[in-house]
Amino acid sequence: MKKKAAEQPLGVKEIARRANVAIATVDRVIHNRPGVSLKTKNKIEQIIQELNYQPNILARRLASRKVLRLATLIPKVSSEETDFWTLPLAGIQKAEEEIKQFGVKIEPYYFDLNDRKSFVKTAKQMLKDPADGILLAPSFIEESVSFIRSCSKLNIPYVFINSDIPQQESLCYIGPDLFRSGYQAGQLVHYCTPRHSGILVLNISREIEDHHHLLRKEEGLRAYFKDSKRPVIKCDIRQTDQRSIEKELSKALQHHPGIKAIFVTNSRVAAVSHYLEKKGKKDTLLIGYDFTQENVLRLDQGHIDFLICQQPQEQGYRGIMALYQSLVLKVPVEKTHFMPIDIITKENHQFYCDLYDFTDSPDKRRK
């Protein structure tokens, strides 16, 4: 005798919908993993009982004995770069710990953020033994498009984190709304500086043309001031060592003495803060990105006014979980997941030190 449609077993997606939580949260409860409040856990367990849901994912995975291989392609951390990419990597590793029991293996690949050839070389290496799914930080646009076209031909799903490439068939994008974060920076400048003073936008990267995420942030700030008479000056610095940054910054400030705010479109804001401190420019508002250890220290010391952060650790975690949900749970994932725009100050940064589990927070360094 056939069961009525209403009596058919329902899946994780339906449980998540009824509980108004993420699928990953339901998965944590089903497999008794930490990270869910008692109230939410009780609510999910009640829905599971009501639906008579019988999880069999683990059993299926173990019975198949097949290893699901997920590959990540993100920039490596080096002495020439900031430590930003340690945070997405931490999120990736956290996700791996949660899902490895299902026979999921994560294979990390890295490229040099200042060398597009290293990206091409690593991408070719990955395609020799293709993974079942890929998490990608598409720093080099043209090379990334070529890579994901190869992935599409092989029917390999891929997820973008940190920056997106429009009009591509990615499984999803998890990261900042680049334009809005720049717009938010404009709002901070408007509130904190004289109405007719100049604003300097600094793009500090060897590959500025391809780092479209920097340019989108710049576009956002310019959009905020489009009906204003405030001058917005742009300076692209293509050598990322401290000496070159200071040299180009000095030129820009000499040519535009009315500048009272500097907006750095990536995590290299600490380098700018060192220059301003050296020159005694305490009246210049400084805004930049990312919760790196050096940036947080400079913020804590009062040399950076605001850091705009968009939860990079969570981006790495959610990127892997999106692949897991699609390939293991067989449920659709949200196409675009914009991370919150967090404004970090000297007064609230300690809460984020705790969140990101820094082992060397500014408070500890002062001791």
Q: Which CATH number is 23's domain given?
A: 1.10.260.40
Q: What are residue 235's DSSP bridge partners?
A: 202
268 and 250 share a domain? yes
Number of domains in the chain: 3
pLDDT tens, residue by residue, 209-242: 656 788 999 999 999 999 998 999 999 999 989 9
Q: How far is the C-alpha of 322 from the C-alpha of 188, rounded, in Å? A: 33
Same domain, 48 and 66: no
Range picked from 33-47, 81-95, 232-246 for highest mean pLDDT = 232-246
Q: In this structure, is residue 324 part of a structural domain? A: yes
Domain assignment present for residue 339? The answer is no
Mean pLDDT score of the chain, rounded to an integer? 87
Quote the domain boundaries for residue 184. 178-309+344-366
- Shared domain for 50 and 144, answered yes or no, is no
Q: Would you say residue 212 lies in a domain?
A: yes
State the greatest distance between any 2 C-alpha atoms of the chain, in Å, as a whole number. Answer: 85
Classify strands 104-111 and 133-136 as parallel, antiparallel or unpaired.
Answer: unpaired
Mean pLDDT of 275-302: 94
> Considering the domain boundaries, does residue 205 fall inside one?
yes
pLDDT at 330: 78
At 243 the three-state DSSP class reads helix
Asked if residue 7 has pLDDT above 60, the reply is no
Residues in CB range of 328: below 8 A, 6 or more apart: 57, 61, 68, 99, 102, 104
Ranked by mean pLDDT, which of 15-24, 34-43, 89-98, 356-365 comes out on top?
89-98
Residues 197 and 137 in one domain: no
- pLDDT recorded at residue 64: 60
In a domain, 81, yes or no: yes
Residue 354 has pLDDT above 80, yes or no: no
pLDDT at 294: 92
Q: How far apart are CA 261 and CA 80, in angstroms?
A: 26
Whether residue 5 has pLDDT greater than 50: no
Sequence-ordered alpha helix ranges (H) in the chain:
12-19, 23-30, 38-51, 57-64, 86-99, 116-128, 141-153, 178-192, 212-224, 242-255, 269-279, 293-300, 312-327, 349-355, 362-366
On whether both 66 and 48 belong to a single domain, the answer is: no
- Least confident segment among 3-7, 12-16, 97-101: 3-7
User: Is 131 within 8 Å of 71 (Cβ atoms)?
Assistant: yes
Please give the pLDDT value at position 6: 37
Q: Which range among 184-193, 239-248, 313-322, 328-337 shows the weakest confidence by mean pLDDT?
A: 328-337
The predicted-structure confidence for 129-165, as pLDDT tens digits, reads as follows 999 999 999 989 899 999 999 999 999 999 999 999 9
Say what the pLDDT of residue 4 is: 39
Residues 35 and 159 in one domain: no
pLDDT, one tens digit per residue, over 8-23 is 345 788 888 899 998 8
Shared domain for 215 and 163, answered yes or no, is no
d(CA 266, CA 289): 5
| CA–CA dist 2, 43 (Å, integer) | 30
Measure the CA dihedral 178/183/188/193, to 10°: 130
Cα gap 336→175, rounded to integer Å: 8
Residue 131 near residue 145 (C-beta atoms within 8 A): no
Does 236 map to a domain? yes
**Are 358 and 211 part of one and the same domain?**
yes
Q: pLDDT tier at 54 (50, 70, 90 boundaries)?
A: low
- 36 and 106 in a single domain? The answer is no
Q: Identify the band that residue 170 occupies on the pLDDT scale cut at 50, 70 and 90.
A: very high
Question: What is the DSSP-derived secondary structure letter of residue 85?
Answer: T
Sequence-distant (6+) residues with CB within 8 A of 107 are 69, 70, 71, 72, 131
SS3 of the chain: helix, strand, coil, percent, to 5? 45, 15, 35
Sheet holding 259-264, edge to edge: 232-237, 198-204, 259-264, 285-289, 306-309, 342-344
Does residue 118 carry a pLDDT above 50?
yes
* pLDDT for position 365: 39
CATH code for the domain of 97: 3.40.50.2300
Lowest model confidence (mean pLDDT) among 169-173, 328-332, 354-358:
354-358
Residue 67 shares a structural domain with residue 163: yes
Q: Averaged over 249-260, what is the pLDDT?
A: 95
Which pLDDT belongs to residue 46?
A: 87
Query: What was the pLDDT predicted at 226?
Result: 94
In a domain, 182, yes or no: yes
Residues 197 and 156 occupy one common structural domain: no
Do 253 and 136 lie in one domain? The reply is: no
Cα–Cα distances in angstroms (integers) from residue 356 to residues 75, 94, 174, 235, 310, in the given order: 19, 12, 18, 32, 12
